[in-house]
Amino acid sequence: MRIKSLILLSSILCASFCVSINSALATPIISKPIASTDKSEAVIARVTPDVAQALKAKGLSLGSPVFLRVIKSPSPKNGHIENGVLEVYVKSHEGQYVLFKSYDICAASGTQGPKMKTGDGQSPEGFYFVSASRFNPWSSYHLSLNLGYPNSFDRAHNRTGNYLMVHGNCVSIGCYAMTDAGIEEIYTLAYKAVANGQKIVRVHAFPFPMTQTNMEAAKGSPHYSFWKNLKQGWDWFETKHIPPNVNVSHGEYIFSPLPISLQTLR
């Protein structure tokens, strides 16, 4: 009887232990839900039909992964920020990212070059991302997407600052400000992609198109070495039409193919 009791107790303990281990291994990683307000929901509902139609005309679909690329100026000619654009790329059915639309940046403060510290008025340059928790429907600037500055590269270089956004209202002190109509479309595209399974929306910010001609013209800049590192990420996307996976090693950005697990996500 005692032996049977011990066997029974052992079986119960083993079953409990095995269930707990298996449950822990099988538990899915659940992304945080995207915050919403009555305003953001109304905006998305209003904008969705036109954006979906415009995407369909280019053979693209609303809810497919998106990639955002910021270009502060067309060239390094005078170091000023002027005629900047935010490009939205959407993943095609063939797996490459296709330019959907280029939005004029309504306002961006500072000059070409990275943000270095709190209060310098600079807009960041580098490789950032927007996750579900970085959507801000309560923004004082209509709607906003938090870039996550400072990233690990910025922290490795002792750069400071926070709450650097892409937002509306056409006013900027270190952020990338769009028109309200522009941010509504950008926000909707990003929202639909993340709601449909994209884990993060990559946002790459450059001072100018990193062509060889522009790099030659920028050689006298104190930021030239930093820009050479950025150019590696620029060239990766220009060549492969898929944004790279970006990490930081020894104070530099390094680039590699996206993990298979991320490539297979919508």
Alpha-carbon distance of 44 to 196, in angstroms, equals: 14
Residue of 106, 142, 167, 204 marked catalytic: 167
Tell me what percent of the residues of the chain surpass a pLDDT of 90: 80
Distance of CA 105 to the CA centre of its chain: 17
For residue range 135-191, list pLDDT tens digits in order: 999 999 999 999 999 999 999 999 999 999 999 999 998 999 999 999 999 999 999
For residue range 123-137, list pLDDT tens digits in order: 999 999 999 999 999
Alpha-carbon distance of 127 to 149, in angstroms, equals: 9
223 assigned to active site? no
What is the pairing mode between strands 126-130 and 107-108? unpaired
**With b meaning 16 or more CB within 10 Å and e meaning fewer, what string describes 191-221?**
bbbbbeebebbbbbbbbbbbeeebbeebeeb
Give 41's DSSP letter. H
Look-up of token digits 């001609």: 213
Q: What is the pLDDT of residue 262?
A: 56
For residue range 46-75, list pLDDT tens digits in order: 999 999 999 999 999 999 999 999 999 999
18 assigned to active site? no
pLDDT at 98 over 80: yes
CB atoms within 10 A of CB 228: 14
Residue of 93, 106, 157, 175 marked catalytic: 175
